[in-house]
Amino acid sequence: LSLTTILTPNLPEAAKLCDGENIPEKQAERLLQQVPYVLIKGGHGTADVIRNIWFSRDGALSSLRSWEWPRLAGGFHGSGCTLASAIAGVASN
């Protein structure tokens, strides 16, 4: 994590990184001690709305930003990985 600029865990990954903590804001507080930016992806949730939440070390919760949209019916796999890959591609330029 010491080499990481942006950490993009989904909800289960963030919980594992934070010893079972399930509240994204509390997860971000812990993760921001190790990395400057965290995007917690909500695709693995069970709510009717998917919510991705952005946090940054320079203000943590005060610089919080989120994006929401309705969850589609059916099962999907890979959308969060695609998002993380897109971020990595842009960040490497």
Specify the long-range contacts of residues 48-53, CB closer than 8 Å, at least 24 apart.
52/83, 53/24, 53/28
Per-residue pLDDT averaged across 10-21, rounded?
Answer: 95
- The pLDDT of residue 87 is 83
Model pLDDT for residues 16-71, shown as the tens digit of each residue: 999 999 999 999 999 999 999 999 998 888 889 999 999 998 765 555 788 999 98
pLDDT band at 77; cut points 50, 70, 90: confident
As a whole number of angstroms, the distance between CA 37 and CA 78 comes to: 21
